[in-house]
Amino acid sequence: MKDEITREDRVDALGGMGCKRKRVEDARFTQGKGNYVDDIKLPGMLFGDFVRSPYAHARITSINKEAALAIDGVVAVLTAEDLAPLGLHWMPTLAGDKQMVLADGKVLFQGQEVAFIVAKDRYVAADAVEVLDVQYEELPVITDPYEALQSDVVLREDLDTNVPGAHGPRKHHNHIFTWEVGDEPATNQVMDDAEVVAEESMYYHRTHPCPLETCGSVASMDKVNGKLTLWGTFQAPHVVRTVASMLSGIEEHNIRVVSPDIGGGFGNKVGVYPGYICSIVASIVTGKPVKWVEDRMENLMSTAFARDYWMKGKISATKDGKITGLHCHVTADHGAFDACADPTKFPAGFMNICTGSYDIPVAYLGVDGVYTNKAPGGVSYRCSFRVTEAVYFIERMIEVLAIKLNMDSAELRRINFIRKDQFPYKAALGWEYDSGDYHTAWDQALKAVDYDGLRAEQAQRVEDFKAGKTRKLMGVGLSFFTEIVGAGPVKNCDILGMGMFDSCEIRIHPTGSAIARLGTISQGQGHATTFAQILATEIGLPADSITIEEGDTDTAPYGLGTYGSRSTPVAGAATALAGRKIRAKAQMIAAYLLEVHDSDVEFDVDRFTVKGAPEKFKTMKEIAYAAYNQAIPGLEPGLEAVSYYDPPNMTYPFGAYVCVMDVDVDTGVTDIRRFYALDDCGTRINPMIIDGQIHGGLTEALAVALGQEIAYDKQGNVKTGTLMDFFLPTAWEVPNYETDFTVTPSPHHPIGAKGVGESPHVGGVPCFSNAVNDAFRSFGLTHTDMPHDHWRIWKTANALGLHD
Amino acid sequence: MSNKMHIKLTVNGEEQEFLAEPRELLIHTLRERLDITGPHIGCETTHCGACTVTLNGKSVKSCTVFVAQANGADITTIEGIGDPDNLHALQTSFKEHHGLQCGFCTPGMITRAAKFLEENPNPTEEDVRFGMAGNLCRCTGYQNIVKAIFATADELNAAKEAAE
The domain boundary residue, chosen from A613, A645, A677 = A645
Q: Can you list the residues of chain A whose pLDDT is less than 70?
A: 1-2
Task: Mark whether A758 is an active-site residue.
Answer: yes
* B32, B38, B144 ranked by CB distance to A32: nearest: B38
pLDDT value, residue A420: 98
pLDDT value, residue A81: 97
The domain boundary residue, chosen from A293, A324, A353 = A293
CA–CA gap between residue A528 and residue A538 (Å, rounded)? 16
A662 plus A564 within the same structural domain: no
Search chain B and give the residue with CA nearest A26. B95
Kindly report the pTM of this predicted structure: 0.97
A617 plus A474 within the same structural domain: no
**Which overall architecture, per CATH, does domain B89-163 show?**
Orthogonal Bundle (1.10)
A20 plus A47 within the same structural domain: no
Contact: A263, B110; criterion CB under 8 Å:
no
A474 plus A539 within the same structural domain: no
A130 plus A45 within the same structural domain: yes
Interface test with A, best of B3, B31, B109, B138 (most A CBs within 10 A): B138
Task: Mark whether A383 is an active-site residue.
Answer: yes
B134 vs A contacts (CB less than 8 Å): 730
A515 plus A620 within the same structural domain: yes
Query: How far lies A257's CA from each of A116, A253, A341, A480, A553, in Å?
Result: 22, 10, 19, 40, 5
Search chain B and give the residue with CA nearest A687. B98
Q: Assess contact for A797 and A665: CB atoms under 8 A.
A: yes
- b/e code A331-369 from CB counts within 10 Å (16+ = b): bbbbbbbbbbbbbbebbbbbbbbbbbbbbbebbbbbbbb
CA–CA gap between residue A349 and residue A341 (Å, rounded)? 8
A49 plus A29 within the same structural domain: no
A406 plus A477 within the same structural domain: yes
- Which residue, A515, A509, A532, is CA-closest to A623? A509
Interface test with A, best of B11, B78, B91, B101 (most A CBs within 10 A): B101
CA–CA gap between residue A745 and residue A653 (Å, rounded)? 9
CATH superfamily of B5-80: Beta-grasp domain (3.10.20.30)
Please report, for chain B, the start and end positions of each structural domain, with discontinuous segments joined by +: 5-80, 89-163
* A33, A689, A722 ranked by CB distance to B45: nearest: A722
B130 vs A contacts (CB less than 8 Å): 731-732
Alpha helices in A595-682 (DSSP H): 620-629
Tens digit of each residue's pLDDT (9 = 90 or more) over A209-267: 999 999 999 999 999 999 999 999 999 999 999 999 998 899 999 999 999 999 999 99
Contact: B128, A524; criterion CB under 8 Å:
no
A105 plus A54 within the same structural domain: yes
Search chain B and give the residue with CA nearest A261. B102
Contacts of A688 (CB under 8 A, 6+ apart): A20, A21, A22, B98
Tell whether omega for the bond before A787 is within 30 degrees of 0, i.e. cis.
yes
Alpha helices in chain B (DSSP H): 26-28, 89-96, 106-119, 125-131, 143-163
pLDDT value, residue A145: 98
Question: What CATH number corresponds to the domain at position A632?
Answer: 3.30.365.10
A424 plus A521 within the same structural domain: no
pLDDT value, residue A565: 87
Looking at the complex, report in whole angstroms how far the Cα of residue B129 sits from the nearest Cα belonging to chain A: 5
Question: What CATH number corresponds to the domain at position A264?
Answer: 3.90.1170.50
Contact: A263, B104; criterion CB under 8 Å:
yes
CA–CA gap between residue A209 and residue A382 (Å, rounded)? 7
- Print the domain residue range for A240: 37-139+215-293
Q: Is residue A452 part of a domain?
A: yes
Contact: B140, A36; criterion CB under 8 Å:
no
A696 plus A628 within the same structural domain: no
Give the phi and the psi of residue A263 in degrees, each rounded to 5.
-85, 60
A625 plus A668 within the same structural domain: no
The domain boundary residue, chosen from A597, A615, A645 = A645
pLDDT value, residue B2: 60
A214 vs B contacts (CB less than 8 Å): 42
Search chain B and give the residue with CA nearest A28. B103
CA–CA gap between residue A227 and residue A189 (Å, rounded)? 61
Looking at the complex, report in whole angstroms how far the Cα of residue B148 sits from the nearest Cα belonging to chain A: 12
Search chain B and give the residue with CA nearest A686. B98
pLDDT value, residue A1: 52
Query: How far lies A277's CA from each of A211, A240, A245, A517, A561, in Å?
Result: 21, 10, 11, 27, 19
pLDDT value, residue A804: 87
Looking at the complex, report in whole angstroms how far the Cα of residue A551 sits from the nearest Cα belonging to chain B: 15
ipTM for the predicted complex: 0.98
Q: Is residue A354 part of a domain?
A: no
- Number of structural domains, chain A? 3
- Which residue, A655, A582, A578, is CA-closest to A620? A582
Looking at the complex, report in whole angstroms how far the Cα of residue A671 sits from the nearest Cα belonging to chain B: 14
Q: Is residue A195 part of a domain?
A: no
* A26, A33, A700 ranked by CB distance to B100: nearest: A26
Contact: B146, A38; criterion CB under 8 Å:
no
